[in-house]
Structure 1
């Protein structure tokens, strides 16, 4: 009888990717962590297969989702301060991170970014954490080991 691999792989995106010191453990950075994880989940198997053909594996995809989420911080803060009317999702961070991807794959990643944005912001309506309206407050979830397992 063969043994099934029951080991659980640690997540590729963790809260630790979104703070470098205690002062960075804010609710806005928690939101960015949640967005990166949601973005990663929206990259479907078919797109992952196409990216794998370009030598882009799950680890690089996770690193990219983190990069893209961090890029969104400026957009979100500009929206909150009234500098811009709407948050814009851009292809530029995709091309910066993956300069050799063709336009079709960039577009598919941008579509996934949009789907993740819609999903995460619709969840915010019911979430009691208030990551956006209380953006500068400490997010205690950063210290919860559950999110690192």
Structure 2
């Protein structure tokens, strides 16, 4: 065995007074912070749910005339932009109109309730589309090649 070396070459233990102070990381924020954060997150969540479920009120009568379509004259593509109809119902309305006009040579739809016999159109749809439709009584329902896909 080798003898142990003494002096400067010997391993020295560090002096605890010269060591840097240990850093302490907090385990968790204070409880009051967690409570406040929970309240804020709950409020944000409730607000998001509220915004997702609120329907816009319909505009007052006479103010929303930008989209006002006559189902006796409109093509299926024009009817398809009416909120609540879409392309399938619009095409069904046009085909129903064509069959009524061919059978009677008169206006197919005199009012919004006349849409009720159309397949896929019921009371809920009629209420949804009522404000977007206008009806003429001139007996000139249009039937063009644009009426079909």
Normalising to structure 1: TM-score of the pair?
Answer: 0.32
The structure richer in helix per residue is 1
Normalising to structure 2: TM-score of the pair?
Answer: 0.32
Give the structure with higher Rg (CA).
2
**Larger RCO: 1 or 2 (CA < 8 Å, sep 6+):** 1
